[in-house]
Amino acid sequence: MGKAKQAKLAMQKYAKMKKMISSTDARLKNKKPSKKKKPEDPHKIEVREVPQASSALFFQYNTQLGPPYHILVDTNFINHSIRYKLDIIQNMMDCLYAKCIPYITDCVLGEIEKMGTKFSVALKIIKDPRFERIRCLHKGTYADDCLVQRVTQHKCYIVATNDVDLKRRIRKIPGVPIMYVAKHRYTIERMPDAYGAPKV
């Protein structure tokens, strides 16, 4: 068999067309009939889910922030304060030049209690009567999610944390300042100039 004949047979083999099934074929009758779409109403208003902007954010400043400041404290902020021997409430007031009320959620308390006896100093500091307790109604004790959820709902808090991931998550929420420990003192990020917060 010559090469030309082989090529011709190969061409015939690949050139065969697929046969179409006729509309009266029995195999098509078993399939469910496709539902006809209703014509769209041109006067219907399209509803889209857009997150509601907080009414507290007036001209990019958070109007709910003001003395006395409500500060949500995270676990590692307390640990950094202990490491640098900083009095939490005194240094908060030195940073913001106003009265500050530190708040501890049940999740943060649970997180410190799970850490064991090594963090007993942090536990003693938290149980100071000057620290306000916030009850958590959700399940689980993951403090980061709890803090993010709380500041998303209520824009009256400043979040005190040194956790890089938590800072990144809070920066996405408009109008929530972040307090952190740097250079042996407290500094604050994203606080309006009008409130007199020190610059780094």
Question: Is 71 in contact with 170 (CB distance < 8 Å)?
Answer: no
**Residue 113 pLDDT exceeds 80:** yes
Mean pLDDT over the full length of the chain:
81
Confidence band of 137 (pLDDT split at 50, 70, 90): confident
* pTM, entire model: 0.67
Question: Is 72 in contact with 103 (CB distance < 8 Å)?
Answer: yes
Instruction: Report pLDDT digits (tens) over 57-105.
Output: 655 667 778 888 999 999 999 999 999 999 999 999 998 888 999 999 9
Confidence band of 50 (pLDDT split at 50, 70, 90): low
**Amino acid 168: pLDDT:** 92
